[in-house]
A and B are shown apart, each in its own frame.
Chain A
Amino acid sequence: MPLVDIDLIIGGPQGGGIDSAAQIVIRAFSIAGYEAFGIREYYSNIKGRHSYFHVRVKETPVRSLRYPVDLLVCLDAESPFVHMEDVSDKTIVLYDEDLMNTKIEQVLTMESETKKHVLDKLKEGGFGTTIAGTIDFMKKRGAIPYPVSFRNLVVGALGPNKPPARYANTLGASLAMALMGLPAEFTSRGIESVFGKKKEVLEDNEKIVKSGYEFVKSHNNLNIKELPVREAKERYILTGNEAIGIGKVIGGLKLQTYYPITPAADESFFLEGHDYFEPVMGEDIDKENEVLKNASVVVVQAEDEIAAIAMAISGAMTGTRTATGTSGPGFSLMAEALGYAGINEVPVVVTLYQRGGPSTGLPTRNSQADLMFAINAGHGEFARIVYSSGDVPEAIDDAVRVFNYAEKFQVPVIHILDKNFANSFFLVDPLDYSKIKIERWKLSENTENFERFKLTEDGISPMGMFGKNIIWLTGDEHSELGHITEDPETRDAMMVKRMGKLNTILKEIPEDEQVELIGDKNADVTLLSWGSNTGVILSVFEKLRTEGVKANLVYVKLMNPFPSKLVSKYLSTAKVLIDLENNYTAQLATLVKQNCGIEVKNFILKYNGRHTTDDEVYEGIKRVLDKKENRVVMIRGA
């Protein structure tokens, strides 16, 4: 058993510095040599509504979260109400004692539906309907209340002229870390790492840290032990959005187009902040060419998603690595242009961050319900690649990979991700460049009559480019030159050429990039899954192993063309097969049935928009194995 394995939630108002508080925690623990992982949950709102960060700290690599948490830090009045079921035996509940008598009706930020659900539970247990009532509720579950007057501590530390609300996040983080036993020095360094070295900010925060730690020291009824400091490595702190941005830039992205949409826009915003840089050109070029001393990524905010993908498509036809990033509603608008990229065999990358649908759905919450749509979007039939990534380290490599696929096979690539991935925080080692390879298109000499759509054995023609070749593109069916034709024989040949690429793709992409079998070959239970659930599933496998249950995971990354043979091979030996996804209809299982003829009969699904956690996956597997339930719906998360 690891010495340290702490889950905590920091809850507070949107815009109240919850992000910074979580950053402080993750950075401080990283500096002290620990591993950390977190996910941000928030409303579609700028200021005021409840948001929270769920973080886990361990000595060993961590990429999943679990309930109940060990520490609940309530920075607003809503937190105790909405998280009262996230606690259990020994959970420390840190809350503002000045808010003790706040009634649920007074919490204006809370949605009436949520209020009703909370009220029902409080009344059912005979608890009061104030924060004091929730504290009693949590106490009954074994939680340990830890009341603090935020106001008194801030005023005590900084005097009466500083607004206490502004310091709630650093105070909350300091108290939390004092309660977890992290030496104060690391908390200070974590704060410095987040806010920089501005003198006034540092001085104020230092006083806050001191007062938080002193408070915990003088109210140490919990027998807190100081954590040992470990050897720290150099780490990057990255969200999923940022990992994709980094992978794209390393992979040679030169033009990114987008229209603002959650949860995709953070990637483009991040790119805008890193769009002009010093490249490593190699000795010769450095000396020769002054103008190459700086490189760039042009990031363009388009007027809508249709324009975004149109610009990316035509930009790609200049030989530029171009991409666009979006989410469900924007991707819906891109469908027609995607077909244009298909018939014109354009190497363009669409990064698709799934969120709760349909329509506007749950704009800031998680979902994996756009898999079938990504595979089928656009009318007619054309070759495309749909490729999935599940966590930050693999996403950096994959973002390079998808450019290679796009150019090598001259097809549009949809890189499908999800909100959990986008808003998760990972600690990442410096990049291993030996794993990164850039592969580009097949080229040919410029000839008099350049055949951009030349019929070839593998379906791939020499890449023609604006600025280099005289080429024609058209959304109509076309000749090898690219002129409109309705000739039936040419139509047949072009359909075979384009659709035949799907076989070329399956043949040429290495098997381990298509699908991975992770875990025991001889497993008692086999999970089928994709995307951001991987980390959770593998974490649960560790627990199952301690109970003598051997498990493995068929982790699919290439969704189209579907690696039917490989997946069939991996699934054929499964004793108990369970499909786990964040959607209602089990879309990956449907794909498996369609492509492999294998019918998955057990499902663990989640579609409430909140992140999947260890406890519910464990419980789901147990219910399938022990109680023979075949459809478990996971419902955790505030």
Chain B
Amino acid sequence: MAHNYRTDLWVDWCPGCGDFGILAALQQSMTEMNKKPEDFAIFSGIGCSAKTPHYINAPGMHTLHGRVIPFASGVKLANPNLTVIADGGDGDLLSIGAGHFVAAGRRNVDMTIIIHNNGVYGLTKGQASPTLARGEKTKGLQRPNILDSLNPVALALTVGYTFVARAFSFDVKNTKDIIMKAVKHRGTSVIDLLQPCPTYNDINTKEWYEQRVYYLDKDPSWDPVVKEATSEASEQKYLQAIQKSLEWGDKIPLGVLYQNDLVPSFGDRIADHITNYFEVPPALSPIINSEGQPVARMEKIFTDRLIKR
């Protein structure tokens, strides 16, 4: 019998929350990936979206505000055999955790980051998040937002993410398909997941998005995948994605915006030097030998500190 990826907890998001669609898409994609539940590690930061791992019947880690990326990276580094997915809010990943978001683009650890993008800090009553446009006054705000918004897709592209996509949580099937592609990509994939907050964001609502989103892959000429390991090839796809990332307002593109499978993942870069890294990763490497003694020996490893006579 297939593993049931739902836990029996009551899901305590508000009725109509965009997070439900992301949860359903995640659970469906995990079922379709046909792995053992122990092969997954699901991470989250803090906030509404952060409860996601508790609702998924697979190993999960609900971490600290802003720190979901380094927590997720640590498990992947120690055991690269695991499939790692990190869920974070827009405030979590792009404000308090923005430094990690930038660093992750450079590191390219083989994992998937899902930005639950709703423009507000929901669990603390609707303050503006980094993706809310300047001048907007959602109902939780005293005055219109005085900070400019940032563009998660453009930011991800410029700091080196090798897979950048956008999805809309009310289209569960498409979200699931994007998650499947993102997980399959060898390197860090990021999904800007548009996820209305029905309680605090009365501007970017389900209906607001439904009138604007369109699917890039409906256009047969759209091809986001870098085909050659040359700077010209990646630059052309990169510029095309940057241009698409600027489309916001009347039309909002969904789908894979950029994909470059030719950049070595962080694990591959480690394995250049530690050649058996994937076969004997840190988590599976013995530390005691058959005689109960440490396998690492001072006289074998640290001979350069022995005074030669």
Contacts and interface: CB of A to CB of B under 8 A. Distances in A.
Contacts of B77: 255, 298, 300, 311, 315
Given A252-B287, A280-B295, A281-B289, A307 B305 contact: no
Contacts of A536: none
B101 to A, nearest CB: 10
Given A282-B289, A321-B287, A433-B294, A473 B100 contact: no
Given A319-B283, A321-B287, A474 B78 contact: no
Contacts of B7: 483
Interface stretch (A6-14, A79-87, A232-240, A611-619): A232-240
B301 interface: yes
A318 B77 CA distance: 10
A242 B63 contact: no
A86 B74 CA distance: 49
Given A246-B298, A298-B282, A314 B288 contact: no
Interface stretch (B113-121, B136-144, B243-251, B272-280): B272-280
A615 B74 CA distance: 48
Interface in B240-291: 270, 273-277, 279-280, 282-283, 285-291
A467 B298 contact: no
A400 B299 CA distance: 16
Interface in A243-275: 246, 249-252, 254-255, 257, 274-275
B70 A469 contact: no
A156 interface: no
B131 interface: no
Interface residues of A, number: 84
A276 interface: yes
Given A238-B305, A315-B77, A475-B64, A280 B71 contact: no
Contacts of B69: 307
A400 B295 CA distance: 13
B63 A310 contact: yes
A430 interface: yes
A451 to B, nearest CB: 14
B3 to A, nearest CB: 10
Interface in A280-328: 280-285, 291-292, 294-298, 300, 302-304, 306-308, 310-322
Contacts of B307: 27, 30-31, 193, 234-237, 427
B290 A250 contact: no
Contacts of B308: 192-193
Given A242-B305, A285-B290, A311-B71, A430 B299 contact: yes
B274 A276 contact: yes
A336 B297 contact: no
Contacts of B122: none
Given A274-B301, A473-B60, A314 B74 contact: yes
A474 B42 CA distance: 12
Interface of B: 7, 9, 37-39, 41, 43, 46, 51, 53-54, 57-64, 67, 69-75, 77-79, 81-82, 99-100, 102-103, 270, 273-277, 279-280, 282-283, 285-291, 293-302, 305-309
19 contacts: A234-B307, A238-B305, A249-B301, A257-B74, A275-B273, A278-B300, A296-B274, A296-B280, A298-B282, A303-B100, A306-B67, A311-B71, A311-B73, A315-B77, A317-B75, A320-B79, A467-B59, A468-B38, A475-B62
Given A255-B78, A483-B54, 12 more contacts: A189-B309, A238-B305, A281-B295, A285-B290, A294-B276, A300-B77, A313-B74, A315-B75, A318-B79, A433-B294, A469-B38, A471-B60
